[in-house]
Structure 1
Amino acid sequence: MFKKILGFTAAATLALGLTACGEEEAGTDTNTETGTETETETVSVGEQVDHTIIGIDPGAGLMNITINDAVPAYGLEDWTIVEGSGAAMAAALTSAYENEEPIIVTGWSPHWKFSAFDLKYLEDPQGVYGGAEDVHTIARLGLAEDHPDAYTLLDQFQWEPNNIEDVMALINDGMDPEEAAAQWVGENEELVSTWTEGVNSVDGEELSLLYVAWDDVIAGTNVVANVLESVGYEVELVQVDAGPMWAGVASGSGDALVGAWLPTTHADYYAEFEGQFEDLGSNLHGTALGLVVPTYMDIDSIEDLTDAE
């Protein structure tokens, strides 16, 4: 039966227990002292990782797809999906990678891990993770009338995966998100000027941006907040879970969010609150979702998780 494990400790403990990389093929070992040959058995990828996939936050769209779609589609009912957080997943991946141990994680890009490590997505022949997604900016109804310059800036905000990954890398290296955003904005004035074109300065008007604690969303939200503050807004950043994030903008208690992954990850929230917000469109193209492994692992497809058992 399909199993789930909750919590950071479980993820870290499991990661420390993974001690081989790639699939060990059947063959023979020779005792150098006696010359005796013994047969060695094939160790499947599933056995190497204890039939475990390290996941992220419970309820995240990526986790819902993995548990509700990927598991039955690929016959992984005997696998364990560890529920924890993005930080727990990254810690487990870092530990395994540094020791060249096997590990399978739920992954998405843009993310700093692809800059830090040599990783690959497992092929998804069933297409359960869908194609590339976009990250959208979502505003509350009435924002254009109440704060037209903020609305214009948010509507014009658009960048590329390599831009956000630069900010994420600074944060991962230990810089405070606010400081990382300020440094990136200062080094990318030409791009930022396209967001502020036609935007007038204001005098301390208050805005709130809602965000989830995902590395990419933290980076993007802090960058947008920095630019809004540069034209005179006082911006409050409010960290919540995905559901409250969407509900907050839909109810008008939050002004906007810049981390809506569509059309897959946040599809349920989009449908639930449709008509209660304004979708300003994509601010970033070229995202991806799926199962991720280090390139040193000898596996290429999710199908191989079943075939190798």
Structure 2
Amino acid sequence: MKRFTLAAFLAVINWSVHAAEPEACRVVRMADPGWTDIGATNALSGIVLEALGYEQKVLPLSVPISYAGLQKGQVDVFLGNWMPAQKPLVTPLLQSGAIETLRANLPGAKFTLAVPDYVARAGVRTFSDLAKHADKFDRKIYGIESGAPANQTIKKMLAAKSYGLTGWTLVESSEQGMLSQVARKNRGQQWIVFLAWEPHQMNNNFKLVYLDGDEQYFGPHYGSASVNTVARRGYRAACTNVGKLFAQVEFTAALEHAIMADMLDKKQTTRAAALRQLHARPELIHAWLAGVTTRSGADGAAAVRARLAQP
């Protein structure tokens, strides 16, 4: 009888462990609200997933529908859980176990209201300064798509007339619609207050100033935020290998800004820009792929490096 070598024995064991991951784990369904930053992080994840033998399916969904999809098991992973902005929406889901947080994928983000630098120089640096110049702002705050948690937060603030914002309204649009208004107002040095966050290319495109002085709605320290990776109930337990990957994937503002800059300045697609940054940052592969294999049980980091080596 032939004797197994230790390497062969370990290969069989490794294969049997990963063969237990259900076939349903092969397709990874990820939500995308149409935000540039989440488009970038989804693209980074997709390149890695495909190199490991998975198939990424990106679903264009608003934030509320993304969470509904997670609850119903129709979405597996969402990389855009901005906290504390989404806290009212997410907390009940976390407490009930309908979704689970895998990790903070971007600590140290920002998410709050902002104004152009010329408006800040004129004296608007805190939330309380807005009401003093209500007429110049036409009593309007520009937000993103209808139903977004951040818009709901702004509506709650306006309904309570916090910071003296009596008679103010929220202009709902989309990320690109809002930013087109910011660009238009900038050209004429007109006043505007809008929802802003970092990382995002808007921080490179506009000279903006984040407002301070808010404790109740977007949080202190200029809207200091954390972006988390969340998954549907039981996802990490059922899809152990890919679940481990998402529990280790972490981004930086510099990485996301670099992808967005390539998209804007070099006219690259999101995927091409993400691929270029993975080439430029090989250390990410080591951190993200520690202990992660391909679907067949092979070395995951080696598989991703082989994919990056291809033209």
TM-score, normalized by length of structure 2? 0.48
Q: Which has the higher helix share?
A: 2
